[in-house]
Structure 1
């Protein structure tokens, strides 16, 4: 009878992923590569500023962010993205990072290029980071990032070893955020929870769906009105707040039962995705 009870108890244990210990007790700020500085990325940067300040106030070393984007600010970006009229013509990454550094006193960095290998197949020297956040608007960019992360995952014997990938993606009214591990993350022993060492990448789990969506129009918008036909005004903000809350939970609580969610702003429905 006791053996049967134990078996039943083990079957109903909640699956969780415990945060890699380095994120919780770092000796230096956690390095973050934020890829994409558009409608979502510009807002994620603001959330990372808030997160960095809060972590430092809690005695943590904070974050060191590098923002990657080769796009220039245009008038179509004003209003929906975090840019002012006086910033038109500037690189998005430079405008945002300069503003963040002036506001927060940080020394975050801007890259005015895409996050990709060079023509010789070499990784960017600055590609190393512990956390990667993608806010890109095309499928190929995700597969490019996944390829680089898999390569970096084989180079884990240095301080900024890659640990997590948080991907944001959306259409006009819907979107999703998915947290992945880069390789296995060592988990503590637990009698209360069933621990999960690996969270699959979006390109592995939803690769076919991503490829099917490649036919969508990703051409730049010439005006805000045209941009709003592709992405509604608050879908980026909505995804940002919820997605960054997932990342914050990894730092604040050291564990998560969820690795993301599907979000529909049109009918206000959100479907969480559990780990395991």
Structure 2
């Protein structure tokens, strides 16, 4: 039997303009993902690609407890997380990316993007994103038609990355691979597990308290793994994996094949 593979939506390989990416959540994982996206965009541009145009959605502000586990400085305490991260990123990389100091939901509207990346804390937020993205599909061939949703989630020292397609992506004929045109949403495949594990923890009052809930390097490790999957999708044009499960306590990572 031929191995399975998913080929990237063709308009994302050599676009005329930067690809719109919507990053939802600018906390422990989101702040790390933003830096990885900036590095990826810069590297893609060096290879002749148009790169990314990123918008970061988050309605939270930086607190003292965020410093250390998240990428914020002392002078940024009290500022909007999205604005602080985007301002720093734009200055460093020379980008013109945007901060949206709002929650990403059906009430505030949503950005039109080709790639959505969620780094949120609750199952309720994921289900709300899923509902928005189900209505975001389109038949146009323009570059920023919604194509992919990558979701990051984690506990204290475990986590997962799940890549999904938004609708069906037509696949080329392949002699070597059995192509897969649709990848399920995390809410469709793991909905019951998400509901069981959901919690409404209050914000931490200190870094020490925050580290009891999430270990220091779980977010950054997940961010690197997930963005590596996205990087390989752009560099190779296809992927045989659609995510990974990570257990940082005993240094185990398990791919999630197609």
If the length of structure 1 is used for normalisation, what is the TM-score?
Answer: 0.91
C-alpha deviations, 1:123-179, integer Å up to 9, x for none?
A: 62x521000000001111100100000011146465421000000000001000000
Q: Is 1:177 paired with 2:161?
A: yes
> Compared with structure 1, are the counterparts of its residues 116 and 157 closer, same or farther at alpha carbon in structure 2 (3 Å cutoff)?
farther
Q: Find 2:208's aligned residue among 206, 221, 225.
A: 225
Residue of structure 1 in register with 2:125 after alignment: 141
Q: Is 1:35 paired with 2:19?
A: no
CA shift, 1:219, in A, is 1.4
SS of 1:132's equivalent in the other structure is strand
SS of 2:22's equivalent in the other structure is strand
Residue of structure 2 in register with 1:7 after alignment: none
* Greater C-alpha Rg: 1
Q: What is the aligned-residue RMSD (CA, Å)?
A: 1.1
CA distance, structure 2, for counterparts of residue 143 and residue 271 of structure 1: 25
Residue of structure 1 in register with 2:245 after alignment: 262
SS of 1:227's equivalent in the other structure is helix
Q: Do the aligned partners of 2:11 and 2:141 also contact (CA within 8 Å) in 1?
A: no
C-alpha deviations, 1:76-129, integer Å up to 9, x for none?
A: 0001100000000100000000000000111000000000011xxxx62x5210
Q: Which stretches in structure 2 are left out of the alignment for 5+ residues?
A: none
Residue of structure 2 in register with 1:198 after alignment: 182
| Count of matched residue positions in the alignment of Structure 1 and Structure 2 | 258
Q: How does 1:153-192 map to 2 (within 5 A)?
A: 153-154=137-138, 156=140, 158-192=142-176
CA distance, structure 2, for counterparts of residue 249 and residue 218 of structure 1: 35
Q: Find 1:84's aligned residue among 57, 63, 73.
A: 73
CA distance, structure 2, for counterparts of residue 148 and residue 194 of structure 1: 30
CA distance, structure 2, for counterparts of residue 174 and residue 76 of structure 1: 21
CA distance, structure 1, for counterparts of residue 140 and residue 125 of structure 2: 23
CA shift, 1:188, in A, is 0.3
> Compared with structure 1, are the counterparts of its residues 155 and 85 closer, same or farther at alpha carbon in structure 2 (3 Å cutoff)?
farther
Q: Is 1:116 paired with 2:116?
A: no
SS of 2:38's equivalent in the other structure is helix
Q: Find 1:48's aligned residue among 37, 50, 56.
A: 37
Q: How does 1:245-256 map to 2 (within 5 A)?
A: 245-256=228-239
If the length of structure 2 is used for normalisation, what is the TM-score?
Answer: 0.98
Over 2 Å off, 4+ runs: 154-159
Q: Do the aligned partners of 1:138 and 1:218 also contact (CA within 8 Å) in 2?
A: no
SS of 2:89's equivalent in the other structure is helix
